[in-house]
Amino acid sequence: VETPLTDKRASLHQALEAHVPDGSSIALGLSLESLIPFAAVHELIRLNRRHLTLIGPISDMAFDQLIGAGCVSQVIAAWVGNVAGGSGYAFRRAVEEGVPHPLEVEDHSNFTVGLALKAAAMGIPYLPTYTVRGSDIATGHPRIREVDDPFGGPPLLGVGALHPDVAIVHAQRADQEGNAHLWGNLGITVEAVYAAGTTIVTCEEIVSADVIRSDPNRTVIPGFLVGAVVEEPGGALPSSVQGYWRRDFEPFLEYHRQSKTAEGFASWRRDWIDGLQDRSQYLARLEPATLERLRVRERRLAAPANFAP
Amino acid sequence: VTRRQIMVVAAAREIRDRELVFVGMRLPLLGFALAKATHAPNAIGLFENGVIRDRPPEGFLYTMGDPPNIVNALACLGLLDVMSLLQQGRVHAGFIGGAEIDPRGSLNTTRTEAAGKLVRLPGSGGAADIASLALRTILIMEHEPRRFRPRLDYVTSPGYVPGRRRGGPATLITTLGVFDVTPTGLRLRSRHPGVSVESIRDATGFPISAADDAPETIPPTEAELEHIRRADPDGFWTGRD
């Protein structure tokens, strides 16, 4: 029996318009330094979204850009900055000076933010752990409490469940229902997708359902968890996409230099956000030589796995 | 030879063969590659993004998520998988960088004050997890007086604090020397070539234990330098020698 396909394809603009209203909590940057959905981040700035809560482990530049653009009221994360440069200057301005407006920060470690999402993904109120004992992360934390071990061991810390409204994930490929293949390091992608109310998948290419079904172990995101799927090639640049794009290092340093002042941030925003309509214009703005250097042409194919019954 | 090359070699020497090592970023990434190429060919590196690898990467890495770190990896999993190995007590050593340190080897990377003004730092990342859960940690820092504080405003990654279950910081590698980290304070193990004990005391914002005749850090051999240059051909992380 053929199950009819649900077509969840949308433009990035439509997908964010439909699934990410003002005040949403969004998990993104879930693979850490790779597969960061920068196209979606930039479109959220163009949509002028307000009062967002951002959830993630480390966030290489993406959270800083949304904070600088005034989209964010709260950050729930382990690290906010720029991996190449260190500090996130927009994050610092928001916390230190309330510019462009004050920011609430719920500090985590990578493990605790992952456990908070995992607890939500499992449908339980918290998960116990031995991490961050003795760290001030645990001091007065709204989501971390000491819990007893009912089996008589030493006390642990319970990390409360965290339910994002939406997860935004960039994948290598997906079908039109949003069933998505990802490969490489996954960070806390799986936990966040299962914890979130819905997921927006941006991907390098939309492929037939047969391609996805041929390798179900690689289907990290089942389509029934997905609200919209967007074909957005290069949608993670300047972060890397295994098999498609190398890391574009220069924009990280350039943003780090420019965002040092609020004026510099505004100028970066004019050039790279407001001056562009969408991701295709971002790609067109890169030097052809840069684009060619970033694009992966080489093939390093995995050996096929035989799924014959 | 640059100070950073010396730090990479010192980091590599902290890794023993067959160990599971939580590698982290920047200089420890190079230290791991160097250890693999020399005395610790069977060491296995864990990265918090979920990568496990037992071969040095084939290309230059800006971050642990760069495509060359994925090619020929032993496994690509999730963050909770590698953190779980850490929590189980299977990870022998982990590297952590810090902005500020206190005498017990606790690190602050969250918030501090300069000239009476709040300075917000990026936060823990995985550092607090490595500090809490690895069987021993190796700390890597710039050596400046303002970074060595008798008391931290915020302990991000706990050192020898009350209630520690296991492990703790074993070694501190700075731009000036290598130190034992103990529950009672820092003890100079070696000073980098050309650095005096006195200048180390001057650059440390609290008392340390140091013999006047503390030895020099053994500099990199030509073969070690060759490996570092191969992993960092433009000197992006280690500078040009």
Are β-strands A198-206 and A226-231 bridged in parallel, bridged antiparallel, or unpaired?
parallel
- d(CA B65, CA B63) in angstroms, rounded, equals 5
Predicted local confidence at residue B35, as pLDDT:
94
Give the residue ranges of DSSP H helices in B123-207. 127-133, 197-202
Assess A248–B contact: CB distance below 8 Å, yes or no. no
Predicted local confidence at residue A278, as pLDDT:
98
In the 8-state DSSP scheme, what is residue A272? Answer: I
* CB < 8 Å from A in window 130-149 of B: 131-133
Best A60, A108, A111, A131 residue to mutate vs chain B (most B CBs within 10 Å): A111
| Nearest partner of A114 among A72, A81, A161, A155, judged by Cα | A161
Residues of chain A with pLDDT under 70: 1-3
Report chain A's C-alpha Rg in angstroms. Answer: 20
Predicted local confidence at residue B88, as pLDDT:
97
For residue B100, the chain A residues in CB contact (below 8 A) are none
- d(CA B69, CA B52) in angstroms, rounded, equals 9
Question: Could you report the predicted ipTM of this complex, rounded to two decimals?
Answer: 0.96
- d(CA A268, CA B166) in angstroms, rounded, equals 47
Residues of chain B with pLDDT under 50: none
Which residues are CB-neighbours of A220 under 8 A, at least 6 positions away? A171, A180, A181, A182, A186, A189, A190, A193
Q: Which two tokens stand for residue A134?
A: 């003795």
Q: Which two tokens stand for residue A210?
A: 């047969």
Predicted local confidence at residue A4, as pLDDT:
72
For residue B71, the chain A residues in CB contact (below 8 A) are 300
CB contact (8 A) between residue A129 and residue B156: no
Predicted local confidence at residue A1, as pLDDT:
60
Is residue B236 within 8 A of residue B29, CB to CB? The reply is: no
Assess B52–A contact: CB distance below 8 Å, yes or no. no
Helix, strand, coil percentages for chain B (3-state, nearest 5): 25, 25, 50
